[in-house]
Amino acid sequence: MGARAARQAVVSGAAGGIGRAIARALIAQGATVHGLDKDGEGQARLEHELGGRFIAHVVDLADRSATDQVLEGLLRRLDGRCDILVNNAGIAALRPLAACEDALLDALLAVNFTAAFRITRALLPALKASGGTIINVASELALIGAPGYAAYCASKGALLAFSRALAVELAGDAIRVNAVCPGPIDTAMLAGEFATRGDPVRARSEETAAIPLGRLGVATEVASVVAFLASDAAGFVNGAAWVVDGGKTAR
């Protein structure tokens, strides 16, 4: 019997802090990773670092037409087989409900939920061909509320509900679907959120104090959970929401 072919993985938001860590973790397991991200420079750095095991596809996932074109090319590169899909792309914004304009709501939904829905739908034949697995990166704020994050919570809550529905719908095709719900992870995105609160140092201290483990998480800790869910070791894990938050939502 010949050697098993390298698994084909697709990771959206691959150039961000958590996305980079996920790409590296999946490659360490032997996969070839196709990254989807509008940050061309960030993906180029990953291509240089990871060689031919990482293939960049530059696209703004909020642009449906551009995303469709990139997905068409991606499907040709995948040659009809996708073993792992990680819908990780996300944006965040701190805005009270009364000040949350339609444009911001549309942007959050477009990237955090609609892009994941459309990417999954496009790749579904390739996932069925492989009996693949889907991991959606939601958030602790898909499970709990926070002031100023109504639109963000709604977008991530939609992604979590989508994950559960697909886990039931696609089980007959041998496709497992799970969600990962990170808490405060020490990335550039979180630093940007702290900056919008007026006093970044105080915001970081308050966030850390709310975590029973007494620290922020790091991207590799999320990536290791994603890598487990993508592996054969998680073969009976389906429809679950894995919380990676240092115990914050357990309070």
Decide: 242 and 178 in contact? Cβ < 8 Å.
Answer: yes
Tokens of 222: 């999320």
Question: Among 152, 162, 194, 242, which one carries the catalytic annotation?
Answer: 152
Decide: 161 and 167 in contact? Cβ < 8 Å.
Answer: no
Whole-structure pTM value: 0.95
- Cα–Cα distance measured from residue 154 to residue 151, given in angstroms and rounded to the nearest whole number: 5
pLDDT digits (tens, 9 = 90+) for 174-222: 999 999 999 999 999 999 999 988 899 999 999 999 999 999 999 999 9
- Cα–Cα distance measured from residue 128 to residue 67, given in angstroms and rounded to the nearest whole number: 21
- In the chain, what are the domains? 8-185+219-243 (3.40.50.720)
Summarize the confidence of residues 76-101 as an average pLDDT. 96
Identify whether 152 is a catalytic site residue.
yes
pLDDT at 1 over 80: no
